[in-house]
Amino acid sequence: MTSTILFILIGIVAGVLSGMFGIGGGVIIVPALMFLCGFSQLKAQGTSLAILLPPVGIIAFMEYYKKGQVNVKAGLLIVIFLVIGSVFGSKLAQNIPTEVLKKGFGILMLLISLKMIFSK
């Protein structure tokens, strides 16, 4: 029961933040699954990818599209190469030791946050 409640809360928080800031899996869901639910890095990443498939993002996308806040050409080009890159990235992740992957993920989030905080 506790896991079910945690999953629901993670979904609500990730959904609100995703809709507000365009973030989700990597920033909210992966750490939440690891630290609150005890998932391994790889299991958290795999689960995050499973739940962020198009049905989840389509509703938020439609709201942004209605307001003219979507560059369709950029989105199409990025999604094509995102799919290609994700194949290579997921295969690579399976061959990296969990501790290295976890630290790399943390460093990436730290660098992004510092850039967001200190850039003009």
What is the residue-level pLDDT of the chain in tens, covering all 120 positions?
789 999 999 888 888 877 777 676 678 888 889 899 999 888 988 888 778 766 667 887 888 899 999 888 988 887 888 788 888 888 888 899 989 988 988 898 899 899 989 988
Tokens standing for residue 58: 């389509």
Looking at the structure of the chain, the number of domains it has is 1
Instruction: Supply the range of the domain harboring residue 103.
Output: 2-118
> In the prediction, which pLDDT does 54 show?
65
CA distance 116 to 110: 10
**Number of other residues whose CB lies within 10 A of the CB of residue 118:** 7
CA distance 68 to 62: 10
> In the prediction, which pLDDT does 53 show?
66
Name the DSSP class of 52. Answer: T
What letter represents residue 92's amino acid?
Answer: L
> In the prediction, which pLDDT does 38 show?
92
> In the prediction, which pLDDT does 27 show?
85
Place of tokens 């998932």: 39
Instruction: Say what the pTM is.
Output: 0.66
> In the prediction, which pLDDT does 100 show?
92
